[in-house]
Structure 1
Amino acid sequence: MSAGTDGSSPFDAYLRSFQEAPGYLNFASYGPPSLAVIETIGALAHDASLGRASAQLHAQDRRGLAAVSRLTGFDPDAVTLTTSTSLGLLQVAFGLPRGEVLVSEAEFPANLYAWWRSEDAGLTRVRSLPIIAGGPLAPVTPERVAAAVRPDTVAVAVSAVDFRTGTRADLAGLREAVGDRLLIVDGIQGFGVLDIDWTVADALVVGGQKWLRAGWGAGFTALSPRALERLLPRLGGWTGVEDPSRYDGRRHPPLPGAQRLSVTNASPFASGALATALEVIETVGVAAIHDRIAATAERLIAGLAEAGVSVLSPTRHDDRAGIVVARTPSGNASSATDRLADAGITVTGHGPDRVRFSVHATTTTDAIDAAVEVMANIP
């Protein structure tokens, strides 16, 4: 990275582009967008208020798709925009060939209801990954999946990073364990944080409101050649077909790529926000963001351990992303989150005895030290 004219580095400029409160440690729930994203949305809204041509506004779709392709490694024709992880997963679930979907009970609800709704419609059957020692929260490992898949299993669904524990999935290992079946990855807790090969997934679905810091209503789905061959666009709409503006009352053939899943025209505000958020990431690179987050999480883990607070999330660098989960005495998680809030620290309480911290590249050491001090004094 070269220094700017004022002597600052691109990473300094990246950090200055955000303005969240210093104690914000809740990126696994929502990532406040950058000033550049806010400016993009405002400029596009201004253009819309002046009656600018819709084609001009929807050029943001192409900009977003290009950025998604660059950062995922998927071909441009293999990516499409969506409004959320939930919608993307539903479209994949309803497009699957008949058969069984294997998924852990510990998944975030978005990665459960999609398969349940498909099963309700008579399209697939859902089977829970067998529970082992460690209970439902045990990590989804290649070994567990390899032992559980059956001849009629058509897909395995998993999160790249577990939202409760912060455990990072071994996607490359799962790719081997799944074999020729489809590997469906909910990437919302890892994409933009982990510098890995995402193309091992057959379907990568990511909402933009968390680690990408693009705001709500923006996201994408990326599909492998295997997925494009097998998935039907059962929840695709009129913009996912050839010649969509030829209003002849006839059914048109679906588009050949991932955009066959398009339901209707995307919001140019969301598309522009996603494109800008991804371009902001590109100014420094995912690897630099990952390293900064990893170092900050390491400081938090070490501080909690020194304060005598039990850490429930993985402590090894290669097993985690940006989530750090701390244990409180049973029933005290709510009190802990209240005390943290009083100190200006924003987190999420999970259950009666767990507090989830999630740090980003913009998280300061002062915020980490303040959070540790509060946790050290939770009775």
Structure 2
Amino acid sequence: MRVAFGEEFDVPDGYLNTASIGIPSVAAGEAVAGAIAGWRAGAGRAGAFDEPVARARAGFADLVGVGVDRVAIGSAVSALVGLVAAAVPDHARVLVAGGEFTSVTWPFAAQAGRGVEVTEVDLGQVGQRAGDFDLVAVSTVQSADGRLVDLDALRAARASGTRVVLDATQSLGWLDADLSWADAVVAAGYKWLLSPRGVAWMAIRPELAAVPAAAGWYASADRWADVYGLPMTLAPDARALDTSPAWYCHVGAAAALPWLAGLDRAAVHAHCVGLADTFRAGSGMEPAGSAIVSVRREGAGERLAAAGVVSAARAGGARLAFHLYNTEDDVARALDALTAR
């Protein structure tokens, strides 16, 4: 058992794979287990899940720094980004990073039949080139290797008229950065937000068009009254983009997100990046200001696994992720695995 920032975690020693699957706190895990126990006993009631959905939504709003009225719920990043992609004008020019996670890029590429043109450039050029495009869609932190996009350059491009859509899945929960200025910020919950897989959120500005293509009863202005028939009566805010929630996922998220939102953001950032940069220094790499490290060394993944370190193989490297429940002992274990003869 580990204690991190006031919460208990059952995370095993050497677990450095949060960028793939985050480990819930004991409290979040017990909340989900309790809800499932109620389901097994026939005590589950649909209306009872409105409250955890609302708490998780509010937690996401606080993490991004926007009003709760700007947050929509969904099940995955690609589904939420797809609502934005479906609304871009015909022949829109969209800029993405080369090698970007496909949940960010494919929803726009799928609009090619309308003449939407998607251009890939190196991540380091995204900020410089952003002003030449109608919309930029990019991860704040790259999934493959932890590189950070130039947020200041994107914010400047937005001030000049370029729309900016950010996938914060690999940063929200550890990166101390203001994202509230973006047109849309989307994130899945099952990584750094320490929630069950099956829930995602999008903070979206009203002026950024999105098509409620998956609208159903949960997107209604009065969700419990408008479950049958027409006309369509969508909610007046971002809830119009909601899809019906995965109930038990939101129960876990309702425990995790408000807690994360209430932490000292700078302290969490310093802890996670500090561990990652300590590992980088021990591996002969320069500091990078990211909680994700890619080790591109032959046999690295096998060496780490043999030492009980859980990592992920991504883009030709062994990817390590350092979150708030990790410690210097995890760093030492990984370094020992890679330097042992």
Using the size of structure 1 for normalisation, the TM-score is 0.82
- Contact kept in structure 2, 1:93 and 1:115, CA below 8 Å: yes
- Contact kept in structure 2, 1:82 and 1:220, CA below 8 Å: yes
Say which of 326, 346, 371 aligns to 2:310.
Answer: 346
Q: Does 1:269 align with 2:272?
A: no
Per the alignment, residue 223 of structure 1 pairs with 204
- Contact kept in structure 1, 2:97 and 2:126, CA below 8 Å: no
Per the alignment, residue 108 of structure 2 pairs with 115
- Contact kept in structure 1, 2:130 and 2:162, CA below 8 Å: no
Per the alignment, residue 318 of structure 2 pairs with 355
- Contact kept in structure 2, 1:183 and 1:203, CA below 8 Å: yes
1:377 positional shift: 4.3
Q: Does 1:323 align with 2:292?
A: yes
1:259 positional shift: 1.0
Report the 3-state secondary structure (helix = DSSP H, G, I; strand = E; otherwise coil) of the residue aligned with 1:256. Answer: coil
Using the size of structure 2 for normalisation, the TM-score is 0.90
**Distance in 1 of aligned mates of 2:271 and 2:4:** 15
Relative distance call for 1:101 and 1:237 in structure 2 (3 A) is farther
- Contact kept in structure 1, 2:311 and 2:319, CA below 8 Å: yes
**Distance in 1 of aligned mates of 2:9 and 2:3:** 11
Where has structure 1 moved over 6 Å in runs of 4 or more? Answer: none
Instruction: State percent identity of aligned pairs.
Output: 26
- Contact kept in structure 2, 1:95 and 1:235, CA below 8 Å: no
Say which of 128, 138, 150 aligns to 1:143.
Answer: 128
Can you give the 5+ residue segments of structure 1 that lack an aligned partner in the other structure? 1-10, 131-135, 306-310
**Distance in 2 of aligned mates of 1:65 and 1:40:** 17
Per the alignment, residue 83 of structure 2 pairs with 91
- Contact kept in structure 2, 1:166 and 1:325, CA below 8 Å: yes
- Structure 1 residues 1-379: aligned runs within 5 Å: 12=3, 14=5, 16-48=7-39, 49-98=41-90, 99-120=92-113, 122=114, 125-130=116-121, 136=122, 138-146=123-131, 148-149=132-133, 153=134, 155-178=135-158, 179-227=160-208, 230-244=209-223, 245-246=225-226, 249-264=229-244, 266-305=245-284, 311=285, 315-317=287-289, 321-328=290-297, 332=298, 335-352=299-316, 354-377=317-340
- Contact kept in structure 1, 2:140 and 2:151, CA below 8 Å: yes
- Contact kept in structure 1, 2:60 and 2:261, CA below 8 Å: no
Amino acid at match of 1:235: A
Report the 3-state secondary structure (helix = DSSP H, G, I; strand = E; otherwise coil) of the residue aligned with 1:217. Answer: coil
Kindly provide the CA deviation profile for residues 177-200 of structure 1, in whole angstroms up to 9, marking residues without a partner as x.
133232100110111111111112
- Contact kept in structure 1, 2:78 and 2:103, CA below 8 Å: yes
- Contact kept in structure 1, 2:124 and 2:150, CA below 8 Å: no
- Contact kept in structure 2, 1:14 and 1:280, CA below 8 Å: no
- Contact kept in structure 1, 2:75 and 2:200, CA below 8 Å: yes
Report the 3-state secondary structure (helix = DSSP H, G, I; strand = E; otherwise coil) of the residue aligned with 2:13. Answer: coil
**Distance in 1 of aligned mates of 2:228 and 2:106:** 36
- Contact kept in structure 1, 2:141 and 2:170, CA below 8 Å: yes
- Contact kept in structure 2, 1:96 and 1:232, CA below 8 Å: no
- Contact kept in structure 2, 1:78 and 1:222, CA below 8 Å: yes
Amino acid at match of 2:293: V
Residue-pair matches, total:
336
Amino acid at match of 2:197: W
163-172 vs 289-298, greater mean Cα deviation: 163-172
Report the 3-state secondary structure (helix = DSSP H, G, I; strand = E; otherwise coil) of the residue aligned with 1:200. Answer: coil
Per the alignment, residue 5 of structure 1 pairs with none
- Contact kept in structure 2, 1:63 and 1:275, CA below 8 Å: yes
Can you give the 5+ residue segments of structure 2 that lack an aligned partner in the other structure? none
**Distance in 1 of aligned mates of 2:87 and 2:239:** 13
